[in-house]
C-alpha cells in the first residue's frame, strides 16, 4: 500500500509540461491531470481579468476530476489569478514566479537578464519580486513575443526560432548579463537553443524544480493520505484546442506517445 494523490496542473498551452516533468519526478505515484489551454494561448498578451476567469474555469474542472492540489504552471496566470483562487478554494494551490532570488545569488557579473512574457513583466507580482530580491544586482528584462507560439508548434530548432532567440538575448548580453531567468514555463523547451545562441558561460534558471519541491512539501504536510492498492502513477491530458495537434506536440514534449482529450465544451 502507499499514498496516492491527484494533482491538477494547467497552463496556457504545452509549456507547463516542463513543470509536469519535475512534478512526476517528485511524486512518482501521483495521478496527474494536465490542461493545455491552447485555444486561449498565449496568456501573456491578454488582460489579467480574462486570464483570471480562465484560471477559475480550469481549476473548477480539475477539482471536479478529483484534484487534491492545483499547480498554476504559468507565470502570467499566477500573477493574475493565484490570490483569487486561494481565496475561493481550500486545497493547496501552488503558483509560478520568475526565479529572481536564485538568479541574483548565481550571477557573477552583477547583471541578470529576464526572458518573459509581457504579462509577467508588467505584473505587480514581478515588480514585488524585484523589490524584494534584486538588491544591488541589475535586472534587465526582455519581453519575448512569439516564443510561446514556437513551443506550441513544437518548433524548437528552426531558423525562425533562432532569429527570435538571437533578437531577445542580444540586449541581455549587451548589458553584461551572465544569468538568464526563463520567466515562462514554455521557455525551458527552448533552453538548448538559448544556451547555444547565448554561449556556454550563460546560466539559465527556471523554477520547475522548486515548484515540484514546494508541491510535495505541501501535499505531504497538508493533505490526508489517500491509500489504495496496486498504486501506479498515471497522467491524463486535456486541451481546449485541437486534440490531434495537441496529441502530437504533447507526445513529443512529454517523451512518449500519449492521447490528449478535448475539454468539455463548458470549460473550453
Among 36, 73, 74, 85, the one annotated catalytic = 74
C-alpha cell at 33: 491531470
Q: How far apart are the first and last CA of the chain?
A: 37
Q: CA–CA separation, 240 vs 268, rounded Å?
A: 5
Sign for the CA dihedral angle at 195, 197, 203, 205 comes to negative
CB atoms within 10 A of CB 59: 22
What is the phi-psi region of residue 135: left when phi exceeds 0, alpha when psi lies from -120 to 50, beta otherwise? Answer: left
Nearest to 225 by CA among 34, 30, 50, 44: 30
Indicate if 144 belongs to the active site: no
SS3 184: coil
Indicate if 74 belongs to the active site: yes
Among 103, 184, 253, 263, the one annotated catalytic = 184
CB atoms within 10 A of CB 64: 11
Which DSSP state fits 91?
S
Active site residues: 74, 184
Amino acid at each position: 500500500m502507499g499514498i496516492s494523490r491527484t494533482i491538477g496542473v494547467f497552463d496556457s498551452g504545452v509549456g507547463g509540461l516542463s513543470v509536469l516533468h519535475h512534478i512526476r519526478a517528485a511524486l512518482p505515484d501521483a495521478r496527474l491531470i494536465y490542461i493545455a489551454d491552447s485555444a486561449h494561448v498565449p496568456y501573456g498578451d491578454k488582460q489579467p481579468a480574462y486570464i483570471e476567469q480562465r484560471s477559475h474555469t480550469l481549476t473548477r474542472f480539475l477539482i471536479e476530476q478529483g484534484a487534491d492540489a492545483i499547480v498554476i504552471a504559468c507565470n502570467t496566470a499566477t500573477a493574475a489569478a493565484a490570490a483569487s483562487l486561494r481565496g475561493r478554494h481550500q486545497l493547496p494551490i501552488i503558483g509560478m514566479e520568475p526565479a529572481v532570488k536564485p538568479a541574483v545569488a548565481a550571477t557573477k557579473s552583477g547583471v541578470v537578464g529576464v526572458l518573459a512574457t509581457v504579462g509577467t513583466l508588467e505584473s505587480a507580482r514581478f515588480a514585488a519580486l524585484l523589490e524584494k530580491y534584486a538588491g544591488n544586482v541589475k535586472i534587465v528584462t526582455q519581453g519575448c513575443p512569439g516564443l510561446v507560439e514556437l513551443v506550441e508548434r513544437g518548433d524548437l530548432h528552426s531558423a525562425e526560432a533562432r532569429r527570435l532567440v538571437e533578437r531577445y538575448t542580444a540586449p541581455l548580453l549587451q548589458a553584461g548579463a551572465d544569468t538568464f531567468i526563463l520567466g515562462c514555463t514554455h521557455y525551458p523547451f527552448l533552453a538548448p537553443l538559448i544556451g547555444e545562441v547565448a554561449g556556454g558561460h550563460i546560466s539559465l534558471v527556471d523554477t520547475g524544480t522548486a515548484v515540484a519541491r514546494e508541491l510535495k512539501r505541501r501535499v505531504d504536510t497538508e493533505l490526508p493520505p489517500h491509500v489504495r492498492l496496486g498504486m501506479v502513477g498515471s497522467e491524463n491530458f486535456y486541451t481546449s484546442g485541437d486534440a490531434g495537434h495537441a496529441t502530437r506536440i504533447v507526445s513529443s514534449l512529454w517523451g512518449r506517445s500519449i492521447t490528449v482529450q478535448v475539454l468539455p465544451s463548458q470549460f473550453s
